[in-house]
Chains A and B, each alone.
Chain A
């Protein structure tokens, strides 16, 4: 029993990491229909900038704030310099642009920072919390709460605020959105800043658990992307559920089947979900325009 609980806690910890990354994907996808493969680099930037700012003498909260703001600025730059000019390009071109951005940011990070692995101190100590014989680190609770808070914030933003609805409207039909007076350029800028900021926040929260280095981004992006797809792209609820589900799947496969194929199990389930529910668990239906 305590074994199962430990697998679940492990899954929830990892799942929260994936969910945070997946939530970042959601915002940009909602605003622009672009899947941003550089999302993982935002997470890396958040972690690495905090590490270096902290090492330079800033207190941790301030270092984290600097990291989040800097990453948000990079997100805006990415939109202005690479995504906006390529509007209307086919999916494959957009994939290459964002992967190119990801390689570019990684290359820059290895020059600006270094190639070492770094850590951050846990926010509330390293003493595990014991729960019916299973344990969880206080930092995992930070990550889980972070994912839930970001989710709640996004949900509120997209359904209850005018600006959030403007983002959705822009995604549905850019021209129509412009016609009803939405400043779509501002919406795009905002989405990228928000998405990058959330990515950086994820980096700050998970680094005490996962450690960080210049090349952690791609792996996180793939897992977050898979989580977002599993739940259904463009839906914060889907991103949250997909991320947690992916983490739980991995932990349970590692616990009960084979740790070698835990990543395989995750992808098999994603393939299965896509076969039977091509829009993911919570995705919206789309129709083909001729």
Chain B
């Protein structure tokens, strides 16, 4: 049986999520795994925006912030279930992306970068300053999702770490599946066309503005869900989730792993999530090494880590 690349990607992901826990020496590894999946979800959105459509955003943490704070605020103020609050956050993020995206996606390169950066900073500023609503920089509690308790009632008793590991893993699988389907759809083809050359895409009849906007909105929804998942898992959120460094982290994870493919980007999310954990013994040198890794990978492995490694293996293996 020959697997399509899409099936192969999903199979690899599913196998990893299901099998790695057998090697976990303690509950802490579930936490790290869950973080990788949460970041992986955000990064899958970046693949659609940057990898498929070739647009840069330095403000996607803003959408993660909207998703996270929706889970903190909607249950309290609107009486929504936290899961519905996450959906509401995603809708809000999508609408916001649509509104903001229409004017700013006309910009290119660095100008687009500074416009998205401005957007992200504005969101984080509102979260910091509107204390009456968000409780400011000290952060706010997020209600329990309640699903773990429900599963327990059905006889499936998972620890908190285990639950979030498998639940986030499942969300990532669904997210990856949708992104891979998008790749093969007419919209995906239009996006890839404009990545190559916007003018060429326009000439062959792609509605460039619409395609870009679609990619922007979809990736915002991914970031929003990632933010929601993080908030629900931590049961606590601060405005840092919308901060500039978080935006940079998302883009770096995606590009470092290989922004051209979903698996590559998730691989990048894994590496950058594990790095600070592995470097705790060298905590003093963590920043130094992180910066060095970012530069070296971008200079020597331009397509990202995973594609470069794969090519190397194929090149010598076959």
**Cβ contacts A to B, 9 pairs, < 8 Å:** A82-B299, A90-B54, A97-B298, A100-B291, A225-B114, A264-B122, A270-B114, A271-B103, A271-B119
Judge whether B158 is part of the interface by a CB distance below 8 angstroms: no
Judge whether A194 is part of the interface by a CB distance below 8 angstroms: no
**Residues 227-247 of chain A: 1 if any B CB is under 8 Å from the residue's CB, otherwise 0?**
001000100000000000000
Give Cα A106–Cα B288 distance, bound, in whole angstroms: 7
**Residues 264-290 of chain A: 1 if any B CB is under 8 Å from the residue's CB, otherwise 0?**
100110110011001110000000101
Instruction: Please determine whether B114 and A96 come into contact, CB atoms closer than 8 angstroms.
Output: no
Residues of B within 8 A of A66 (CB): none
Instruction: Please determine whether A100 and B118 come into contact, CB atoms closer than 8 angstroms.
Output: no
Across the interface, name the chain B residue whose C-beta is closest to A262. B125
In this complex, how many residues of chain B approach chain A with their Cβ under 8 Å: the count is 48
Instruction: Please determine whether B298 and A96 come into contact, CB atoms closer than 8 angstroms.
Output: yes
A-B contact number at CB 8 A? 131
* Known contacts A222-B117, A278-B111; A93/B199 CB under 8 A: no
Instruction: Please determine whether A229 and B292 come into contact, CB atoms closer than 8 angstroms.
Output: no
B247 to chain A, nearest CB (A): 11
Judge whether B274 is part of the interface by a CB distance below 8 angstroms: no
Judge whether B181 is part of the interface by a CB distance below 8 angstroms: no
B275 to chain A, nearest CB (A): 12
Instruction: Please determine whether A82 and B106 come into contact, CB atoms closer than 8 angstroms.
Output: no
Q: Contact residues of B with A, CB < 8 Å?
A: 50, 54, 56, 58, 103-104, 106-107, 109-111, 113-115, 117-119, 121-122, 125, 129, 197-200, 244, 248, 251-252, 255-256, 259, 284-295, 298-300, 302
* Known contacts A92-B251, A260-B129, A270-B118; A107/B111 CB under 8 A: no
With most chain A CB atoms within 10 A of its CB, the pick from B106, B251, B284, B294 is B294
Task: Find B110's partner among A91, A103, A222, A267 (CB 8 Å cutoff).
Answer: A91
Judge whether A101 is part of the interface by a CB distance below 8 angstroms: yes
Across the interface, name the chain B residue whose C-beta is closest to A91. B109
Instruction: Please determine whether B104 and A271 come into contact, CB atoms closer than 8 angstroms.
Output: yes
Instruction: Please determine whether B287 and A226 come into contact, CB atoms closer than 8 angstroms.
Output: no
* Known contacts A103-B294, A267-B121; A89/B302 CB under 8 A: yes
Which bracket fits the contact residues of A? 35 or more
Instruction: Please determine whether B255 and A111 come into contact, CB atoms closer than 8 angstroms.
Output: no
> How would you classify the secondary structure of chain B's contact residues: helix, strand, loop or mixed?
helix
Judge whether A148 is part of the interface by a CB distance below 8 angstroms: no
Instruction: Please determine whether A111 and B122 come into contact, CB atoms closer than 8 angstroms.
Output: no
Give 19 A-B pairs besides A94-B298, A279-B111 with Cβ atoms closer than 8 angstroms. A35-B113, A85-B300, A95-B56, A96-B255, A96-B298, A99-B294, A100-B291, A100-B292, A104-B288, A107-B286, A107-B287, A107-B289, A107-B290, A108-B288, A110-B287, A263-B121, A264-B121, A268-B122, A274-B111
Residues of A within 8 A of B115 (CB): 270-271, 274
A112 to chain B, nearest CB (A): 10
Across the interface, name the chain B residue whose C-beta is closest to A229. B114
Task: Find A104's partner among B122, B197, B287 (CB 8 Å cutoff).
Answer: B287
A219 to chain B, nearest CB (A): 10
Across the interface, name the chain B residue whose C-beta is closest to A94. B298
B98 to chain A, nearest CB (A): 16
Across the interface, name the chain B residue whose C-beta is closest to A215. B287
